[in-house]
């Protein structure tokens, strides 16, 4: 790996410790401003390459999951340090491939390294092990109770499919990779075709960090492939035990179907499709309609609208406040210069999906931004429909990935409530409410809880904080698995499973469930959370 230049991509995949040039068809990322194919070209992985990456991952698995939390934390921190060191070259490469602005990409490198460090801290915090001890009760009647202890272990090798819209934070070294590695799962990434160079630079960085910190070879690999064949083989490989995916509903559903159809089905965490409803309640509209309109347009057009949490749906009750909001939003969108989208494919899909939405019965366009001079141009767009029509037409909930939003004008709170009740699962639901709106908000809140992974008040859904309490997930079709999150420390649980140990001799017990608690982890002793050692003879 070290023979290659660190700052520019060389057209390689990473299989274990080795840079490898594929033998399949050549693919290239494309500059979305010009539509020109970029250097270097990447040849796709062969069946043997996939085979070798999976074999190495399996081979590494038992040793990797047995590394101490401290050692895995060191591995994650080494990746973070190297990414920060290489920030400028990563930003340049990603900027060329995605047209995302440099300051945004600079922030994204920091978010990516910060996320890796957060998982390192989580590993040291000693809660993820889920340790539980029910000590033996030898004198229990009618039967003695055995000594039973529980901890969580890694699921096995994980396949990760990164997202186009976050070439760093949701891609090769993104949240899925960070949480899987933290859990002790080797990772095989399928590089995103839209940012092959960035993916390569990051993959080589991870491989270097693995070598620097003495991780077993195979703990990380990255494969390249055009179309869906490499990914499909990866999902079907018997050694892969879970999948993380961020992308389209179509892609996520295809992967979930493949995973369910395996001889041994595996969990799929696909984050797919969300239109992120924003509810504007009457008093808030009345007191700050203009400000809300401008702020909404800002959230909508940020990054050409290419966020999973982009506000694609606004629900409000007719009235002067809504009129003020509408004018302000329309003015802001009309003044928007547009932006280059991530790929020409995304831009084409954006335009077509927006046209399809605009063509539905009862839908009117009320604002449109400018068209930038770009191969992959995205124009902001505002559409509107009334509440009754919205509740009656499920097609109005189709995600338009980009800066298009649909304003639903409801006649009254009953119509607003009915519209909310029809909503599919969402990553986020936002409420703008003044204090006078709180009684209405309290009625709507349970409906939103049942439909979204995150509920925000008086803010905008774009911008996902990486922390302990964040949920970036939600009911279908936001994800394929609402029991989890793809952002924040809770994500480590996706890649773990519990194991119980009954009357296992002390010398053979994992450290986290030994009496003396040598790792100092949090445990439930007979159900009670504690970091104490298990008192000798506490058992009756």
Residue of 529, 532, 535, 540 that binds a copy of itself (CB under 8 A)? 529
Q: Note whether 47 binds a copy of itself by CB under 8 A.
A: no
Stretch of 58-66, 293-301, 312-320, 349-357 lying at the interface with a copy of itself (CB under 8 A): 58-66
Write the CB contacts of 399 (distance below 8 Å, at least 6 apart in sequence): 249, 273, 274, 275, 312, 353
β partners of residue 134: 148
Q: How far is the CB of 336 from a copy of itself (least distance, A)?
A: 22
Residue number, 42 or 495, with CB nearest to a copy of itself? 495
Please tell me whether residue 96 adopts helix, strand or coil conformation: helix
State in angstroms the smallest separation of the CB of 414 from a copy of itself.
Answer: 17
Q: Is 308 a catalytic residue?
A: yes
Rounded Cα distance between 96 and 93, Å, is 5
Stretch that binds a copy of itself, among 201-209, 283-291, 376-384, 525-533 (CB under 8 A): 525-533
* From 54, 308, 377, 410, the catalytic residue: 308
C-alpha distance from residue 287 to each of 100, 282, 398 (Å): 35, 9, 31
Q: How many residues make contact with a copy of itself (CB under 8 A)? A: 85
Question: Which of the residues 397 through 456 are near a copy of itself (CB under 8 A)?
Answer: 425, 433, 435, 438, 441-442, 445-447, 449-450, 452-456
- For residue 40, whether the previous peptide bond is cis, meaning omega lies within 30 degrees of 0, is yes
| 238 is a site residue for a copy of itself (CB under 8 A) | no
171 in contact with a copy of itself (CB under 8 A): no
Helix residue ranges, H only, 99-187: 102-125, 175-183
Least Å from the CB of residue 286 to a copy of itself: 18
In 3D space, the residue among 491, 475, 473 whose CA is nearest the CA of residue 174 turns out to be 491
- Radius of gyration for the alpha carbons in the chain, expressed in angstroms and rounded: 25
- Residue 524 binds to a copy of itself (criterion: CB under 8 A): yes
Residues 250-279 that bind a copy of itself (CB under 8 A): 256-257, 260, 264-265, 267
Of these, 475, 492, 517, 519, which contacts a copy of itself (CB under 8 A)?
A: 475
Site string for a copy of itself, 119-148 (x = CB under 8 A): --xx--x-x--x-xxx-------xx-xx-x
Say which residues have a Cβ less than 8 Å from residue 183's Cβ, sequence separation at least 6: 128, 154, 155, 492, 494, 495, 496
DSSP one-letter code for 531: -
Kindly state the tokens that stand for 488: 């924040």
What mask of x and - would describe binding to a copy of itself in positions 482 to 521, judged by CB under 8 A?
xxxx---xx--x--xxxxxxxxxx-xx-------------
Task: Supply the minimum distance, in Å, between the C-beta of residue 432 and a copy of itself.
Answer: 11
Distance between CA atoms of 145 and 139, rounded to whole angstroms? 8
Quick check: helix, strand or coil at residue 47?
helix
Is 114 a residue that touches a copy of itself (CB under 8 A)?
no
Active site amino acids: 271, 308
């Amino acid at each position: 790996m070290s023979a290659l230049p660190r700052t520019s991509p060389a057209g390689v995949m990473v299989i274990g410790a080795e840079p490898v040039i594929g033998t399949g068809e050549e693919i290239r990322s494309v500059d979305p401003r010009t539509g020109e194919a970029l250097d270097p070209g990447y040849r796709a992985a062969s069946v043997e390459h996939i085979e070798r990456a999976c074999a190495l991952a399996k081979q590494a698995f038992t040793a990797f999951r047995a590394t101490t939390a401290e050692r895995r934390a060191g591995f994650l921190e080494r990746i973070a340090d190297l990414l920060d060191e290489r920030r400028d070259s990563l930003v340049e490469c990603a900027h060329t491939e995605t047209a995302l602005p440099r300051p945004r990409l600079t922030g994204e490198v920091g978010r990516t390294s910060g996320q890796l460090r957060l998982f390192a801290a989580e590993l040291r915090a000693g809660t993820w092990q889920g340790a539980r001890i029910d000590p033996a009760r030898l004198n229990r009647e009618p039967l003695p109770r055995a000594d039973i202890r529980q901890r969580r272990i890694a699921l096995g090798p994980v396949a990760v499919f990164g997202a186009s819209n976050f070439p760093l934070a949701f891609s090769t070294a993104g949240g899925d990779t960070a949480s899987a590695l933290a859990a002790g799962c080797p990772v095989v990434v399928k590089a995103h075709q839209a940012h092959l160079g960035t993916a390569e630079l990051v993959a080589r960085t991870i491989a270097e960090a693995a070598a620097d910190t003495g991780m077993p070879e195979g703990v990380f690999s990255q494969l390249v492939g055009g179309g869906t064949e490499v990914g499909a083989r990866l999902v079907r490989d018997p050694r892969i035990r879970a999948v993380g995916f961020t992308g389209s509903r179509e892609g996520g559903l295809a992967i979930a179907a493949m995973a369910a159809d395996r001889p041994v089905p595996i969990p799929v965490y696909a984050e797919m499709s969300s239109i992120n409803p924003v509810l504007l309640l009457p008093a808030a509209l009345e007191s700050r309609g203009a400000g809300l309109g401008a702020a909404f347009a800002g959230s909508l057009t940020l990054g050409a609208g290419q966020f999973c949490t982009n506000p694609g749906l606004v629900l409000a009750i007719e009235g002067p406040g809504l009129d003020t909001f509408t004018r302000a939003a329309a003015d802001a969108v009309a003044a928007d210069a547009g932006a280059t989208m991530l790929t020409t494919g995304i831009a084409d899909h954006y335009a077509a999906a927006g046209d399809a939405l605009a063509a539905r019965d009862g839908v009117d366009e009320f604002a449109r931004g400018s068209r930038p001079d770009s191969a992959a141009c995205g124009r902001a767009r505002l559409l509107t429909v009334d509440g009754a029509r919205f509740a009656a037409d499920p097609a109005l909930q189709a995600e338009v990935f980009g800066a298009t939003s649909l304003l639903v004008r409801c006649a009254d709170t009953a119509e607003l409530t009915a519209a909310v009740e029809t909503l599919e699962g969402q990553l986020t639901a936002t409420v703008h409410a003044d204090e006078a709106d709180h009684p209405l908000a309290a009625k709507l809140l349970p409906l939103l809880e049942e439909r979204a992974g995150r509920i925000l008040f008086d803010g905008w859904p774009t911008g996902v904080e990486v922390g302990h309490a964040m949920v970036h997930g939600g009911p279908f079709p936001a994800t394929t698995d609402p029991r989890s999150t793809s952002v924040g420390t809770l994500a480590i649980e996706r890649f773990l499973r519990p194991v119980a140990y009954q009357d296992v001799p002390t010398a053979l017990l994992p450290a986290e469930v030994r009496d003396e608690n040598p790792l100092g982890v949090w445990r439930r002793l007979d159900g009670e959370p504690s970091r104490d050692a298990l008192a000798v003879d506490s058992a009756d």
